[in-house]
């Protein structure tokens, strides 16, 4: 009887120990499984880094014209100012609307007009002097030819003297014609200067010109500058 009790006790103890051991093994297995799930897989990482490719979009750029606006600050300076100085004297009969402070004008635009009356008379007189000088030259040349033929008839085979051929008078007449032509050119130039223009487009900074005002040659009446003389 006692022997049967001891054998039953031994079997029960072994089963109890085996159950505890199995429970511990299950806990260890569960712990290891949870650790593997929570930690990244090296194989998966390796596959992700090397095997998977990023998805990208591709498009062909097309050239086009675009306005680029650049904002900047600075100071604008004028490189040179031009004084408005007439080259002839006279009374102003026309003033351009652009000839005022801040006004703009184009290249070749007439800014002021000076009375042309006296200058046209001077040109007419100079042209008349040209005609007179040309006539005198022709007269001297004709008289020289006549005198040279007469001398040749009276002195055949002899050279005609310069005084007989009227060479001094012809030379003087030629000089007078050249002088008259020069005066006519000067009168024509003065007439063109009654209209004052600038060879560039620009702006007016100041002007005191008024219709009826008398201007003298060399007297400044305003100041302008060219648009291409602006510097930043």
- In this structure, the answer to whether residues 182 and 205 fall within a common structural domain is no
- Report the CATH number that the domain containing residue 200 is assigned in CATH: 2.40.50.100
Q: pLDDT value at position 67?
A: 74
> How large is the average pLDDT for residues 29-43?
58
Give the whole-angstrom CA distance, residue 183 versus residue 133. Answer: 12
Report the pLDDT averaged over residues 144-173.
93
Q: What's the whole-number mean pLDDT along residues 2-13?
A: 50
168 and 125 share one domain: yes
Q: Are residues 34 and 131 in the same domain?
A: no
Do 133 and 96 share a structural domain?
no
Judge if 140 and 35 occupy the same domain.
no
* pLDDT tens-place string over residues 124-149: 999 999 999 999 999 999 999 999 99
Q: pLDDT-derived band of residue 8, with 50, 70 and 90 as boundaries?
A: very low
Rg over CA atoms, the chain: 57
Same-domain check for residues 138 and 226: no
> Domain range spanning residue 148?
117-191
The pLDDT > 70 percentage for the chain reads 76
d(CA 97, CA 223) in angstroms, rounded, equals 15
What span, in angstroms and rounded, lies between the C-alpha atoms of 166 and 141? 8
Q: Are 82 and 198 in contact (CB under 8 A)?
A: yes
148 and 38 assigned to the same domain: no
Element (H, E) at 141: helix 117-154
Q: Is 91 in contact with 213 (CB distance < 8 Å)?
A: yes
Counting the structural domains of the chain, the total is 3
Residues 108 and 135 in one domain: no
> Based on the domain organization, do 127 and 177 belong to the same domain?
yes
Q: Are residues 184 and 121 in the same domain?
A: yes
Which tops the pLDDT comparison, 192 or 12?
192
- Say yes or no: 128 and 177 in one domain: yes
Residues 106 and 147 in one domain: no
> Does residue 14 have a pLDDT over 60?
no
What is the bridge-based pairing of β-strands 82-84 and 222-226? antiparallel
């Amino acid at each position: 009887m006692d022997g049967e009790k001891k054998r039953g006790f031994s079997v029960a103890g072994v089963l109890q120990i085996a159950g505890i051991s199995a429970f511990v093994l299950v806990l260890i297995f569960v712990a290891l499984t949870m650790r593997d799930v929570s930690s990244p897989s090296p194989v998966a990482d390796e596959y992700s880094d090397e095997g998977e490719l990023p998805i990208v979009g591709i498009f062909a750029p097309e050239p086009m014209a675009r306005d680029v606006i650049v904002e900047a600050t600075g100071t604008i300076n004028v490189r040179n100012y031009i004084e408005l100085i007439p080259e002839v004297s006279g009374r102003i009969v026309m003033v351009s609307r652009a000839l005022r402070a801040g006004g703009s004008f184009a290249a070749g635009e007439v800014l002021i007009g000076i009375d042309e009356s006296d200058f046209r008379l001077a040109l007419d007189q100079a042209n008349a002097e040209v005609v007179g000088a040309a006539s005198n030259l022709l007269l001297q040349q004709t008289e020289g030819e006549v005198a040279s033929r007469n001398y040749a008839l009276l002195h055949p085979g002899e050279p005609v003297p310069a005084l007989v051929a009227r060479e001094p008078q012809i030379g003087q007449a030629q000089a007078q014609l050249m002088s008259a032509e020069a005066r006519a050119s000067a009168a024509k130039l003065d007439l063109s200067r009654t209209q004052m223009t600038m060879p560039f487009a620009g702006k007016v900074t100041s002007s005191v010109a008024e219709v009826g005002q008398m201007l003298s040659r060399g007297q400044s009446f305003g100041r302008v500058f060219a648009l291409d003389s602006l510097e930043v």
